Amino acid sequence: MENRLLEPIDHLKGVGEETAELLHDIGIYSINDLIEYFPYRYDDNSLRDLEEVKHDERVTVEGKVHSEAVLTYFGKKRSRLTFRLLVGRYLLSVVCFNRPYFKNKLSLNSIVTVTGKWDKNRQTITAQELVFGPKQEISGIEPVYSVKGKLTVKGMRKFISVAMKEYIDEIEEILPIELLEKYKLITRKQAIQTIHAPIEQASLKQARRRFVYEEFLLFQLKMQALRKVQREQSKGLNQQYPKETLDHFIKALPFPLTIAQSRVIDEILSDMKSPYRMNRLLQGDVGSGKTVVAAISIYATILSGYQGALMVPTEILAEQHAESLIKLFEPFDINVALLTSSVKGKKRRELLEKLKNNEIHLLIGTHALIQDEINFHTLGLVITDEQHRFGVEQRRMLREKGKNTDVLFMTATPIPRTLAITAFGEMDVSVIDELPAGRKTIETYWVKPDMLERIIAFIEKEIAKGRQAYVICPLIEESEKLDVQNALDVHSMLTDYYQGRYKVGLMHGRLSSDEKDAVMRSFSDNEVHVLVSTTVVEVGVNVPNATTMVIYDAERFGLSQLHQLRGRVGRGSEQSYCILLADPKSETGKERMKIMTETNDGFVLSERDLELRGPGDFFGKKQSGMPIFKVADMVHDYRALEVARQDAVELVRSDAFWQEEKYNGLRKQLTNSGILNGEKLD
Ligand code: ADP
Ligand code: MG
């Protein structure tokens, strides 16, 4: 039988052609669209204890008139009526504007019901509605719908209540009974009824709970199904390498791998060996040792007869990776090349020629790697480091560089898990959740700028022990608009101060890449003791002897950026320090500084960052691609999101889900979204 909920909206009693058009404007075409048009908030007109009501909140109270009403006019038509009302043990004032005729009806000791805004400080309600007599016994919670044009909230309430009466029995359950029972969820029908006409806050909560789970489960099912489809459709390279040779390479590393590193390497290698194409996200906090994981994976692809590419967001990082990987691969006869903007002319042509002839096994560079002129012989594995900094488009182009190429995205955490499993839900995820042994926790302090002198002395003490320090400034030059420290000034101040004793270097984005290179080299060779820099050193840079990180105007940076900056120290076995020089004016600014001093855990930080900023801001609007949920909230309902994801993974993997009748409802949702017809989820 045809589902009547799919009937067009003008089939509803009271909805003519004109109203139908107004409803189309807010996206309502069918009866189903209407009953799934949920309120965005509720007015709670049920009687509440004033103790619980917050300042400025709307409230309804019933009380006894306790004083003569006083009427004042200002102007001809405008007036104010004030009287005292006794509500329980509360004696409060009621103000009522422009209703002078109420005065004579408000006799002493009579009962009235007042709805309005509660001014907690003045103990006053500004009345929006006033009813003479006790509160009527109807549901006090009224849904408020978002409307446009000539539609009114009252009108929407009417349409929906008509639709609910007429069509309520058409609403089918889509969740299988086992899930309803497992999580004690109310049925779809009950939930929709409650959402539109709640009797009390508690049942509203139950209805909300059901839809949070339903929305997350459907979304995750789509992601997991998409992943399955992509996997089955995208043939991989089936890379085969001699295991002993790779093991030999791993044994030759200067340190044993952590358990977490070994685990993610197994995950990556099994993807590369599989007949499917790898599409994997590798998350690991700063300093967790992602580079060596990349190196091992690249060696595996080279042993299988392919080339590797490593793409990073900045040239400094490209140079640094090139330097350490060249050293690492040298004994193994691997040719590593660095492609940056400064490789020009003949040198560039030669390099590209070698790349095409498979004489270069690993190419390292910035987004320059995805330009058209760059042709590999047979690209087997592409890795992007600090991948959250590349746009979606760049990621796609890189993937298309080689046919069936395996792809690994590496990132230093700032993606909270909740976002990772929504924005990157169609990828496989590996996590390095452990730091190499022997690392000491970085001690982080938040100090006011007037402590500067003591900090400079502190740096000096560290240098005297043979260590080095970073000093980060938000700007390169003095700015008229912003009162923040700039790198040039700080550099000359520190140069004066340490004159004749220690060397101070300067690094910022406007130096040429040769100059940057020279500065970075002298810092990693410990010829420069203090490096004053803008945030160009933020990602990836690795100088283990640096133990102190001072950040000027730290309140100007976001939490994940501060964490990235802090990650430049604490890379060796010595105790490291991070000093935040900040005088934040806003509450969230203070909160950020506090959080920094409280935790070193990138996962915790990124979750807190998400709470402070909200998901929309997290990736920047453009490339967010974040899904929109009607009821669910990714930040506050993250536990439900985790649960739903796990359920979705298990369902999509099971045969029962694809065959049994009790999953029809859920499967139909996937068909409707186009995934099972080979279309892609956008
Ligand atoms: P990130 O994950 O931030 O990119 P890196 O790969 O730069 O971290 O590694 C940070 C430092 O830890 C480097 O100096 C690296 O050589 C070292 N390292 C990596 N893995 C280990 C390990 N298993 N044991 C000891 N040190 C390690
Ligand atoms: Mg790194």
- Nearest Cα residue to atom 16 of ligand 1: 289
Give the DSSP H/E element, type plus range, for residue 638: helix 638-653
Nearest one of 364, 313, 317, 315 to 341, comparing CA atoms: 315
User: Can you give the pLDDT at residue 617?
Assistant: 52
- Measured at the CA of 325, the angle between CA 521 and CA 411, to 5 degrees, comes to 95
* Closest-approaching ligand to the CA atom of 387: 2
Please give the helix or strand (H or E) that residue 271 lies within, else none.
helix 259-273
Substitution site in 282, 285, 288, 385 for ligand 1 pocket (most atoms within 8 Å of beta carbon):
288
Measure 544 CA to ligand 1 centroid, in angstroms: 10
Which residue has its alpha carbon closest to ligand 1 atom 18?
289
Determine the residue of 250, 281, 292 to mutate for testing ligand 1's pocket, defined as the one with the most ligand atoms within 8 A of the Cβ atom.
292
Residue nearest to atom 24 of ligand 1 (CA): 436
Distance (Å, whole) CA 164 – CA 108: 44
Q: Atom 5 in ligand 1: which residue has the minimum CA distance? A: 289
Upper half-sphere CA count for residue 449 (Cβ side, 13 Å): 11
The CB density around residue 28, as the number of other CB atoms within 10 Å, is 21
Measured in angstroms, how far is the CA atom of residue 215 from the centroid of ligand 1? 40
Instruction: Name the residue at shortest CA distance from atom 17 of ligand 1.
Output: 289
Residue 186 CB neighbours (<10 A): 17
Give me the amino acid identity at 32.
N
**Å from CA of 39 to ligand 2 middle:** 46
Indicate the pTM of the whole model.
0.66
Span from the CA of 292 to the centroid of ligand 2 (angstroms): 9
Cα(277)–Cα(267) distance, integer angstroms:
13
Two structure tokens written together for 445: 């302090």
Which pLDDT belongs to residue 622?
38
Closest by CA to 520, choosing from 342, 319, 335, is 319
In eight-state DSSP terms, residue 39 is -
For residue 290, give the ligand 1 atom closest to its CA: 2
State the angle between helix axes of 513-524 and 315-329 in degrees (0 to 180), rounded to the nearest 10.
60
In angstroms, what is the span from residue 494 Cα to ligand 2's centroid? 29
288 Cα: distance to centroid of ligand 1 (angstroms):
6
Helix (H) or strand (E) holding 573: none
* Residue 496, pLDDT score: 94
Q: Are 61 and 126 in contact (CB under 8 A)?
A: no
Ligand 1: which atom is nearest the Cα of residue 284?
A: 2
Residues 502, 493 contacting (CB under 8 angstroms): no
Q: How far is the CA of 390 from the centre of ligand 2 (A)?
A: 15
Residue with CA closest to ligand 1 atom 10: 287
Q: What local confidence, expressed as pLDDT, does residue 303 receive?
A: 96
Which of 251, 291, 576 is the best mutation target for the ligand 1 pocket, counting ligand atoms within 8 Å of the beta carbon and taking the most? Answer: 291
Mean pLDDT, contiguous 10-residue spans, the chain (682 residues): 83 91 92 93 79 85 92 89 91 92 90 91 90 72 90 93 92 93 95 91 92 92 81 81 95 95 96 90 88 97 96 86 94 94 89 95 88 88 79 67 85 65 71 85 93 93 96 80 79 93 92 85 93 81 91 89 89 92 90 93 80 58 55 81 89 92 89 60 38
Q: Which atom of ligand 1 is nearest to the CA of 385?
A: 4
Pick the closest to residue 584 from 575, 594, 571, 576 (CA basis).
594
Bridge partners (DSSP) listed for residue 111: 64
Ligand 1 pocket residues where CB is under 6 Å? 255, 257-258, 261, 284, 286-292, 412, 436, 540, 542, 544, 571
Say how far apart CA 504 and CA 527 lie, in whole Å: 9
For residue 20, the one-letter residue type is A
Cα maximum dimension of the chain = 100
CA-closest candidate to residue 625, choices 223, 347, 231: 223
Q: How many CA atoms lie within 13 A of 289 on its CB side?
A: 24
Nearest protein Cα to ligand 1, atom 12: 289
